[in-house]
């Protein structure tokens, strides 16, 4: 039986988030420079995007560049930013044809002008598309996002628009970068690292975590299907006991 046919379409996650890791190690295995690994990683993004469209996933968030990644050698950082600009420019028409909306989370003001401009143009051009939101986490840090949300809430309180006693989970979720996007049900990290690396700390409170040893450039459609099947075989109890769920 094919992997795809094992997936229950009714129970697919609506939001999948992925920490795309392992490009550098993949390149090293091939005897290539790290940047080659990043370039091939773009192919994996295409694969996963197709799989998500196929499954009717509504939001796909990809961790593309963390605030900590600025600490990498300048050559790699510059190469990654150029790759981002090129990729967005090359893919924009295909995204649009497939009714995909490009969005981003993270501090866009800290991106190089060329990258921010390309991203803004693509986001504007696809803003009415509604089959899938492709959300790029760029210059992103979950702690930055949480601090930023706190500032927005504090300013509302200061302006007299919000009473501190009315602040709840929902107020907070709405103050994050994309307040209209539901939390991911499934978080995938490739490359065998079992850590979160400052990604979506608020939103993954109850996400199912899936770690695979596959390096990101080797991640194919079938790997996404496997992750979704694994997710569908889990029991999401949200604090309850099994018997309550099966009533
Ligand atoms: C993930 O691959 C891509 C980015 C962080 C931009 P890495 O570049 O972290 O690859 P490894 O972890 O060194 O193999
Ligand atoms: C996390 O990967 C960031 C992205 C995938 C963009 P890293 O490779 O930078 O994470 P650490 O440094 O190993 O935790
Ligand atoms: Mg890494």
Tell me the whole-structure pTM to 2 decimals: 0.98
Residue 44's pLDDT band, with cuts at 50, 70 and 90, is very high
Residues 83-112: tens digit of each pLDDT: 999 999 999 999 999 999 999 999 999 999
Pocket perturbation via mutation, ligand 2, pick of 21, 28, 138 by most ligand atoms within 8 A of CB: 21
Is 98 tagged catalytic?
no
> Per-residue pLDDT averaged across 145-166, rounded?
98
Q: 31-38: long-range contacts at Cβ-Cβ below 8 A with a sequence spacing of 24 or more?
A: 34/76, 35/75, 35/76, 35/79, 35/80, 35/83, 37/217, 38/79, 38/80, 38/83
Is 8 tagged catalytic?
no
Span from the CA of 192 to the centroid of ligand 3 (angstroms): 10
> Per-residue pLDDT averaged across 222-227, rounded?
98
CB atoms within 10 A of CB 77: 15
Pocket perturbation via mutation, ligand 1, pick of 37, 43, 65, 81 by most ligand atoms within 8 A of CB: 37
In ligand 2, the atom with minimum distance to the C-alpha of 193 is 13
Residue 1's pLDDT band, with cuts at 50, 70 and 90, is confident
* Catalytic, out of 8, 21, 168, 233: 21
198 class by beta-carbon count within 10 Å (0-12 exposed, 13-18 middle, 19+ buried): middle
- Token pair, residue 210, equals 């899936």
b/e code 135-171 from CB counts within 10 Å (16+ = b): bbbbbbbbebbeebbeeebeebeeeeebeeeebeeee
Span from the CA of 49 to the centroid of ligand 3 (angstroms): 21
Phi-psi region of 106 (alpha: psi -120 to 50; beta: other; left: phi over 0): left
Identify the residue whose C-alpha is closest to ligand 2 atom 7: 21
User: Which residues sit with their C-beta closer than 6 Å to ligand 2?
Assistant: 19-21, 63-66, 69, 193, 195, 197
Residues 195-215: tens digit of each pLDDT: 999 999 999 999 999 999 999
Instruction: Quote the CA–CA distance of 48 and 135 in Å, as a whole number.
Output: 13
Span from the CA of 116 to the centroid of ligand 3 (angstroms): 23
Span from the CA of 193 to the centroid of ligand 3 (angstroms): 8
């Amino acid at each position: 039986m094919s992997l795809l046919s094992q997936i229950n379409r009714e129970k697919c996650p609506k939001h999948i988030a992925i920490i795309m890791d392992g490009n550098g190690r993949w390149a090293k295995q091939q005897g290539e420079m790290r940047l080659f690994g990043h370039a091939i990683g773009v192919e994996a993004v295409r694969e996963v995007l197709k799989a998500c469209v196929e499954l009717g996933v509504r939001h796909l968030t990809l961790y593309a560049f963390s605030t900590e990644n600025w600490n990498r050698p300048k050559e790699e950082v510059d190469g990654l930013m150029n790759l981002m600009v090129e990729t967005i420019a090359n893919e924009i028409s295909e995204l649009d044809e497939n009714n995909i909306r490009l969005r981003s989370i993270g501090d866009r003001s800290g991106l190089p002008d060329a990258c921010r401009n390309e991203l803004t143009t693509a986001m504007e051009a696809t803003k009415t598309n509604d089959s899938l939101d492709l959300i790029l986490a760029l210059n992103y840090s979950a702690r930055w996002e949480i601090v930023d949300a706190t500032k927005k809430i504090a300013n509302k309180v200061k302006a007299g628009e919000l009473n501190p006693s009315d602040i709840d989970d929902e107020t907070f979720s709405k103050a994050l970068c994309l307040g209209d996007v539901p939390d991911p049900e499934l978080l995938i990290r490739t490359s065998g690292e079992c850590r979160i690396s400052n990604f979506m700390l608020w939103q993954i409170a109850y996400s199912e975590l899936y770690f695979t040893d596959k390096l990101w450039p080797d991640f194919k459609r079938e790997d996404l299907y496997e992750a979704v099947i694994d997710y569908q075989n889990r029991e999401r109890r949200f604090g309850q006991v099994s018997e309550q769920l099966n009533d």
